[in-house]
Amino acid sequence: MTPLKIALDWTPNINHIGIFVAKKLGFFKENGIDLEITNPLTDDYHLTPGKKLELGLADFAIAPFETVISLNNKENKVDAMAIFAILQEDLSSITSLKSAKLNSPKLLDDKTYASYKARYEDKIVKELVMNDGGKGDFNIIYPDKLGIWNTLLSGEADATWIFDNWEGIEAESKNIELNKWSLKDYDIPYGYSPVIITKKSNLEASKSTYTAFVKATRKGYLFAATNPSEAIAILRKELTEYDQNNIDLAKSLAATKAHFGEKNNCGNMNLERVNLFLKWIVAKRLAHAAILDQDLFTNELLE
């Protein structure tokens, strides 16, 4: 058995269901892999998944595609590469409580946004506001990452970035009405999120093992899509007590499973879509044009 470690981007949630299914049902083991799944609660998010990958504390990290760009273009370059897209569509949104009466992004001007302090996040949200006719001039706070959703519920922040298939499901079950703004509706060609990333050097050194990891991961997500009750039972045991009590997992998986893709595209990343996002980032001067010539993802392990 080859021991491998994957760092989650958040406490266990619906976006991770395929990984937990694959571990519980032995899909990794049947491919010769002993997988350890690390939860950011263990260090209260002291280190991001990308940082854990950089430091060699994890073989894989779950993160938005922006993390791959960032790791490859920092001063101490990390040869990171995305190898699996968990979702084929963006299920995230910039969100405000309806009770705050912010009916469009431009109304975020002079309000407070709770940020995860991701590399391009604040500038992306600024572009969202400007594309709606606002100035993009709002207050940004950086709460503890794992408590950001609660800053919205408590009124400390007027808006934040959520996953509609997780926090959005919680809000729905509690009859909390939200205003949600998808980036694509405001001319921002957002990329894939979340993706599984690794180091190119590790991939090249252990290609057969990493291919087996992707095979097992893919099998886990496809199983979850077609066997929802069994998959939900597996995931439920991994959740925080708060999420066990506040998330309707059946609704969450129902809202998500179609976006895992089918047998022919589960995990796949489209070159045109990635390039649209990269060109947008360059056009907005968020990164240098060098990112357009970098190998930031591969579908090779899916073949």
3-state secondary structure of 4: strand
Kind and range of the H or E element at 275?
Answer: helix 271-283
Q: Does the pTM of the predicted model rise above 0.75?
A: yes
Burial state string for 35-73 with b = 16 or more CB within 10 A and e = fewer than 16: bebbebeeeebebbbbbbbbeeebbbbbbbbbbbbbbbb
Q: Could you give the strand order of the β-sheet that contains 195-199, starting from the edge strand earlier in sequence?
A: 33-38, 2-7, 60-63, 195-199, 80-85
Return per-residue pLDDT of the chain as tens, 303 residues: 999 999 999 999 999 999 999 999 999 999 999 999 999 998 888 899 999 999 999 999 999 999 999 999 998 999 999 999 999 999 999 999 999 999 999 999 999 999 998 889 999 999 999 999 999 999 999 998 888 999 999 999 999 999 999 999 999 999 999 999 999 999 999 999 999 999 999 999 999 999 999 999 999 999 999 999 999 999 999 999 999 999 999 999 999 999 999 999 999 999 999 999 999 999 999 999 999 999 999 999 998
Q: Hey, what domains does the chain have and what are their CATH numbers?
A: 2-89+192-302 (3.40.190.10), 92-186 (3.40.190.10)
Q: Which two tokens stand for residue 85?
A: 């897209």
